[in-house]
Structures are given as C-alpha cells and as structure tokens.
Chain A
C-alpha cells in the first residue's frame, strides 16, 4: 500500500473472491451443514451458491453504476455522511468479528487436531501477524501472492476429493425426496447463504480497485467464473463428505481433513492429513488477510492517517484480543459462527446491498457523480 492509488486486474480480483469464498469455509462448513441439513447438505449449498450469485450481481451493478468510485464515496453521496457512517460502522464490527473468528478457527484447528500441546494463542497471533504483514504489502502484492497459494490449495482439495473416490457411497445421499426435506434444506440454506456465500457482499468495498477504463473488455465474467469455481469446489467437498461419511459427517468437525486421513495408497501414501490440513488452512489465512484489508479500508476512509497502513497492526492486535476472548467454548464458537454470523450476514449484507442498489436505481449515482 504505497502512496499511489492501488489497482488490481479483474483476474486478480476473481482470485481474491475464490480465495475468500473457499478459505476457512472448506474446512469448517461441511460439519455444521451436515448437522443442519444431513444428507441434503449439498442441495442447501447449491441453493446458497445461487443466492451468492445474486449478491455478486448486486455488487457488480453498484460498481457499474458508480464507475471508478469507492462504495464509501458514493454511499455518503446517496445517504449522507451520518447514515452512511452508521452502515459502515456495522460492517466494521462485522469484519472485526469475522477476522477474529477466522484466526480463532485456525488456532482451534491446530491446537485441537494437529499440535495439541501448543496453545491456540500462538497460532492466532502468528497467523494474524502474517495476515497484517501481507496487508501492509498492499493489495497488488496480496493478489499476486494468492494466485500461487490458491493454486496450491485448489490442487490439494482436488487431490483429496479424487483420491478418496474409493470411499464414496452414493447410497449415503438417499433418500432423495422424502417428506421431511424442506426444513433441513432451508436450515442449511440459511447457514450457507450467510457463511460463506453471502459474505460476497463485502466485495462492494473492494470492487472499485479494478480500474474502470472506458471501452475496456468486459471483465465481470471473470469474477463470476472465480466465484463459480469456489462454489463448485465447496459443493463437491460437502457432497463428497456426505458420500464418504453419511450421517457421521455430523460428527467429524473437520471432515475434509478426516477424509484425507482415510486415504491409503499402498504403503507409499498414508496419513497425509497433516499436509492437507496445512494446505487447507492457507485458505483461512487468505480470507483473514482480505478481510483485514477491508477493515483497514474503512478505517482509513474515516481517519486521515498520513500513511495508509498505520491502522493495520493496531487492527490486527484488536482482532487478536477479540479472537482470544470472544469464544468461551467450542459450543459458543458454534453458536456465534454458525447461528448468529450467517443471520447477521444475511440481515446486514442483504439490507446494505438492497439499500444501496435501490437508492442507486431511484436517485441515479447520487450527488457529485
């Protein structure tokens, strides 16, 4: 983040979208989704992906209507500074919670599964430090770096899903159409529409970083493709987890990790779940980085720091303290992240986008457009 205005290419933006949609959710979502929707989890995820597409369409509509301006600029023009400030304050609180929950998830994963003797705060602190250092390097560097990390992560996810083929039993998905289908599917939809697909509304904060050159080739398709890749992989992970474990997917907290531990190829390849786990957790780091960048974007919109990066480390420290104090127990984490958070995303994100899109449609691009 240097003094000059930072810009990234549409391809890089689509990488960020894929990384944040897949990141953390690929590890965490199959378990609560199976808990809510049972064998219909993949149907809930598919419907939620459609909902996320609508959110992305709304974000892109706003970007097209307010070409070249950040949402903080045009929101103030549309609603006036006080109301706009209130909306962004709520988004700021949501982002603080999201970053804290993501790093708390990283800490819980490592201290609970892979390195049980190391306290969670070590993982929370180091992963947040890595995320903050990345944010300070700027969004251009971040996007470049994530192209490589995402490639590694997608390769590992695909490898696990392919190598575990012998473990799949399609019968686990039955019954397909029972009477009691609607309620679990809707419950699962509520969860996944909020986390992770609904979170796409946060990209309204970033989308202006793609330069709006007049007459440039249409680039929005790239963002849909990136989002579609993430959605497809997530749905596949949920589907494969259901086919491999059936009703037991509700029991395993990190089902893709568990799936990797079940892969045995002769004496050569067994118990590779540690490597897979580390590759998967890269997603959480990427998501925490992008959300921390968004947090900093809001703060620097309000506070006239000379150096745009001034707030990054203080914000990261705040998130660290929150991650260590917000969640009393795994049950508390479950309730806050899988019950309250999706609802908050749907309520705040939905309202936020609807208000902005509606007002743009009614009033045009606002004052100063």
Chain B
C-alpha cells in the first residue's frame, strides 16, 4: 500500500480519524463532526459526521437513537476481541441498511450526498446511513408542455424521482438505465435510458462513445449534455429535444430513442430528434384522429408562415406585385403612402422590434413582462403606424408571423425559425422570389446534410419513407400506428425497417 493510499484509508484510532475529518471539512461550517462519549473515562468512542444542510434532522436523530446509542454502550463496555467487535458492527450495520466505506474520498462524497457517517474507535470502516432530507419540488404539471387531455405528471429536479416515474411506466427489465458521472467538482450524475431490443445498436454505440466524452466537464443542466453530443454545433436546428412529460419520454423509448436525465435538472433529453418530431406532441395521441390530423397540418402551416411570411411579403410587394390581387394591392399601396422606408427596412424594423419585445417579456418578472407585452403590442404598434414608420399591413404580417411561431409546439424549433427568417427577408429583398427559392434550397440542403446520431435529420421526408408519413402530415388512427414497423420490431423482434427510398 503506497503512502497516498494509506492517507486516504481510515485509521484504527478515533483521534486520528477526528483530526483527518476536521482537516477535510475545514471551513465547511455546515458539516457537523460530533464526538460521542461514553468510554470508561468519558472519552469519545465514536464520531458522527454529516452535513446539516443536507440531512433530515428527524432521520438523523432516529438513526442515532436506533443504532448509535446501543452501539456506544457496546463499545463502552468490556472490550471484546477486535474481530468479534467488527462482526457485531457489520451485523448492526446490515440491520440498519448501512453502507460501509474504508476511504476518506468515499466518505466525503457520501457526506455531500446527505449521508450520516459513523466512525467508531478501533474500526477501519465507517458506516454511512442515508438520511438526505433536502426539500425538493413536488411532482406537478409541466409548465412548458401543458395538455388538455392525458396525464399531468411532470418531471422534477431529482434524478431518482424522475427515473422512478419512468420505471413506474415501463416495468420491464428491457428498460436499461446506465449512469455516467461528469465533472470533478460537481460530480453530476447523468443517467441514460433505452429500451433494449428496440433501440438501434449502432445508434446506441455512437451515443455511448459521445457521452463518454462528457466526463471531464462540469454539467449544470441537461443542455450541457446536448451540447456535447450533438452532431452540428452551428446548425440553427435542434438535433435533440426536451420534454418534462414522462408519457412523452416513455413513448420516445418505445420509438427506439435514448433518454438522458441529469440530476438537478427537470428536463429529459430525447436523443435523437428528427425534424418531423418537432411538430408532434403527446396530446396528438390522446385526442380524436380527425382533430389530431387537423392540428398537425395547422402546425405545418404555422411553420411555413413563421418562416416565410415576412420574406414572401417583401418579395411580392417589391418584385412580384402581380401576384397580389388588384384590390388588395391598391389597399397596400394606399397604406404604404407616406412611409419613407422600402419594404425591407420596414420589415426589419418591425421584426427586430417584435423580437426585442418578446425577449424583454421573457426576461422581466412576470407581472412586468405582461405589461411590456401589452405596451409593445398596443401602444408601440399603433404609434408606429401613426408615425408612418410602418404600414398596417406590415404590422399584420409581423403579428401573424409571431402567432404562427407560437403555434409550433417545441420552443427550440421556433428559435431556429426566428434565426432563419432574417436571411430569408434579405434574400427576398435582393432577388425576390428567386432569392426565396435559393434560400429554401440552401435550408433544404442543410437539412438533408444534417445527421443526428447517424440518423438523417429529415428522415421520413428525405429519405422518403411513405409508410412513416402517416404520423407526419396526418395522425393515422392509433390501431394503424400500432401496426407500424416500429411496433412490429418492438413486439416481435422483426427487422421493422423499410428500405430507404
């Protein structure tokens, strides 16, 4: 045993162990190091170490009463042979579900996890009792993904609670959960879950290879994991998606996805996410087929409007006025009378103002935020029209674009659209419809090039999988979807993959 290792090991002498504990937790005033007396001459025979800000007081008192007091009496009495005493300590530990540690590194880690550590005289092992009692947020309805129908259970910041909710839904040994620890200071627990036999083996191997890279980094949130494992850092499009709903997470597992859960974060990362996934919500499967289909198409329309409406308006009003019906064109010309800016400047002013208002509304405290939105929407919009900075039609275009971007169920995709809207406006202002066409070609090219964990990002559309489209443009009846290749694979272990077209 080297010197370094012996430094880390517990000593048989309580005095030495106490000194070591004091040195280790120096200036950590929330850590209590309590000697327990009771020896023949009143000397301490054991030591209790715990972090008072993490430990539940009631639980720690119970442990001390149940275990420590009889133990102390035993230790203080006639001293039996050392081997007998160790045996009785082990038995007492097993009765009270104690974990045993022989190194200070492990003891330190467990203290920070809310364990109460008992170190006894003449013993080279410490007993740790789980008594974490930090107040945690209760399971409640997810804020970002509310639903009218379906379960209302949302994730919380505690990893075991989230994993428990998942286990409750998928009670099978095929649900595999593996842990990775990241960082040297935070030592964040990251769990990834998948359904064995359903997940693609190549994808899982690629995921494992990437998640291993995260070990040296300090991870504060699940988004750090996303950043580490994504294929393209500079793409505006999200390649993985988040959920706070356990039903969505369970459905994703059935779909062959991998989930990443991080301690202290309520967000579950679903890997990988394809482009079409961002237009579906869990509620689509809880409502009637016709309604779900209509909603899907509405969302796709919202995507088109949010991405193109301002640029299409600029292209049409500048280059192709013949496309606008004559009466509407006259109305637009009339409204633009006296406005000193060309359509592109007008569009950029209004779009930038809208983005500013949106950002301000999000960052401000909630009561003030709503006031800013009202002021922005009503006062500034109206004033801009009165001051001839913008035309009413442009205000309608920008407002409609904003509403459409709110109709996209996943915030990350809405951000991507916000980013792409501006280059498209510029392209339309320089080259009209042709510029728009070029813009679309480049966006489509990027989407076709993009891969996420080895899966083509635009999959179902490109490469085209006609069978999968019944859960893209429409939401086919559930009994039809249940007969899908995905489910055949899940239930019968068949190949379940169609040839890529």
Chain A residues packing against B (C-beta within 8 Å): 9, 11-12, 110, 114-115, 118, 122-123, 126-127, 130, 133-134, 137, 141, 144-145, 147-149, 267-268, 270-272, 274-275, 278, 281-282, 285
Give the interface centre of B320, B434, B501 by most chain A CB atoms within 10 Å: B434
Cα–Cα distance between A272 and B438 once the two chains are bound (Å): 19
Give the interface centre of A127, A145, A149, A282 by most chain B CB atoms within 10 Å: A145
Chain A min CB distance to B459 (Å): 9
**Are B438's CB and A271's CB within 8 A?**
no
**Given A9-B500, A137-B445, A141-B445, CB of A147 within 8 Å of CB of B325:** no
Which residues of the other chain, A, contact B499 by a CB distance below 8 angstroms?
Answer: 9
**Are B462's CB and A147's CB within 8 A?**
yes
B286 interface residue (CB < 8 Å to A): no
Partner of A144, one of B320, B434, B463: B463
Chain B residues packing against A (C-beta within 8 Å): 319-320, 322-323, 325, 327, 431-434, 436-438, 441-442, 444-445, 448-449, 456, 458, 461-464, 499-501
Cα–Cα distance between A133 and B463 once the two chains are bound (Å): 19
Cα–Cα distance between A46 and B147 once the two chains are bound (Å): 57
Partner of B323, one of A118, A127, A274, A285: A274
Give the interface centre of B436, B438, B441 by most chain A CB atoms within 10 Å: B441
**Are A145's CB and B444's CB within 8 A?**
yes
**Are A147's CB and B433's CB within 8 A?**
no
Which residues of the other chain, B, contact A285 by a CB distance below 8 angstroms?
Answer: 441
**Are B323's CB and A145's CB within 8 A?**
no
Which residues of the other chain, A, contact B320 by a CB distance below 8 angstroms?
Answer: 114, 274
**Given A9-B499, A12-B501, A137-B445, CB of A282 within 8 Å of CB of B325:** no
Task: For A11, give the chain B residue with the smallest CB separation.
Answer: B501
Question: Given A11-B464, A12-B501, 13 more contacts at CB 8 Å?
Answer: A9-B463, A114-B433, A118-B431, A123-B434, A141-B445, A141-B449, A144-B456, A144-B464, A145-B462, A272-B323, A275-B323, A275-B433, A278-B437
Cα–Cα distance between A148 and B469 once the two chains are bound (Å): 13
Cα–Cα distance between A271 and B325 once the two chains are bound (Å): 9
Task: For A141, give the chain B residue with the smallest CB separation.
Answer: B448
Cα–Cα distance between A253 and B437 once the two chains are bound (Å): 22
Chain A min CB distance to B426 (Å): 13
Which residues of the other chain, A, contact B464 by a CB distance below 8 angstroms?
Answer: 11, 144, 147-148
Describe B's contact surface by its main secondary structure. Answer: helix
Which residues of the other chain, B, contact A281 by a CB distance below 8 angstroms?
Answer: 434, 437
Which residues of the other chain, B, contact A115 by a CB distance below 8 angstroms?
Answer: 319, 431-432, 434
Cα–Cα distance between A359 and B54 once the two chains are bound (Å): 85
The 23 sampled A-B contact pairs (Cβ below 8 Å) are A9-B499, A9-B500, A11-B464, A11-B501, A12-B463, A114-B319, A114-B432, A115-B432, A126-B431, A127-B438, A130-B442, A144-B456, A144-B458, A145-B444, A145-B448, A148-B462, A148-B464, A149-B441, A267-B325, A274-B320, A274-B323, A278-B436, A278-B437
Task: For B323, give the chain A residue with the smallest CB separation.
Answer: A274
**Are A114's CB and B434's CB within 8 A?**
yes
**Are B501's CB and A9's CB within 8 A?**
yes
Partner of B434, one of A12, A145, A272, A278: A278
Chain A min CB distance to B331 (Å): 14
Which residues of the other chain, A, contact B322 by a CB distance below 8 angstroms?
Answer: 271, 274
Which residues of the other chain, B, contact A11 by a CB distance below 8 angstroms?
Answer: 464, 501
Cα–Cα distance between A75 and B499 once the two chains are bound (Å): 32
Which residues of the other chain, B, contact A147 by a CB distance below 8 angstroms?
Answer: 462-464, 501
Cα–Cα distance between A11 and B499 once the two chains are bound (Å): 10
Chain A min CB distance to B187 (Å): 38
Cα–Cα distance between A271 and B328 once the two chains are bound (Å): 14
Partner of B431, one of A122, A148, A149, A270: A122
Which residues of the other chain, A, contact B463 by a CB distance below 8 angstroms?
Answer: 9, 12, 144, 147
Chain A min CB distance to B456 (Å): 7
Chain B min CB distance to A123 (Å): 7
Cα–Cα distance between A149 and B445 once the two chains are bound (Å): 11
Which residues of the other chain, B, contact A114 by a CB distance below 8 angstroms?
Answer: 319-320, 432-434
Task: For A266, give the chain B residue with the smallest CB separation.
Answer: B325
**Are A144's CB and B448's CB within 8 A?**
yes
**Given A9-B500, A144-B462, A278-B433, CB of A137 within 8 Å of CB of B448:** yes
Cα–Cα distance between A148 and B436 once the two chains are bound (Å): 16
Chain B min CB distance to A45 (Å): 27
Cα–Cα distance between A126 and B436 once the two chains are bound (Å): 12
Cα–Cα distance between A127 and B436 once the two chains are bound (Å): 12
Cα–Cα distance between A149 and B437 once the two chains are bound (Å): 11
Task: For B436, give the chain A residue with the smallest CB separation.
Answer: A278
Task: For B320, give the chain A residue with the smallest CB separation.
Answer: A274
Cα–Cα distance between A134 and B320 once the two chains are bound (Å): 28
Which residues of the other chain, B, contact A275 by a CB distance below 8 angstroms?
Answer: 323, 433
Cα–Cα distance between A141 and B445 once the two chains are bound (Å): 8
**Are A130's CB and B433's CB within 8 A?**
no
Cα–Cα distance between A271 and B444 once the two chains are bound (Å): 27
Give the interface centre of B327, B461, B463 by most chain A CB atoms within 10 Å: B463
**Are B500's CB and A110's CB within 8 A?**
no
**Are A149's CB and B438's CB within 8 A?**
no
Task: For B501, give the chain A residue with the smallest CB separation.
Answer: A11
Which residues of the other chain, A, contact B461 by a CB distance below 8 angstroms?
Answer: 148
Task: For A285, give the chain B residue with the smallest CB separation.
Answer: B441
Chain A min CB distance to B448 (Å): 4
Cα–Cα distance between A48 and B432 once the two chains are bound (Å): 37
Cα–Cα distance between A285 and B448 once the two chains are bound (Å): 16
Chain A min CB distance to B240 (Å): 21
Cα–Cα distance between A112 and B432 once the two chains are bound (Å): 15
Chain A min CB distance to B323 (Å): 6
Cα–Cα distance between A76 and B265 once the two chains are bound (Å): 63
- List 4 A-B pairs, minimum CB-CB distance, nearest first: A144-B462, A11-B501, A271-B322, A145-B448
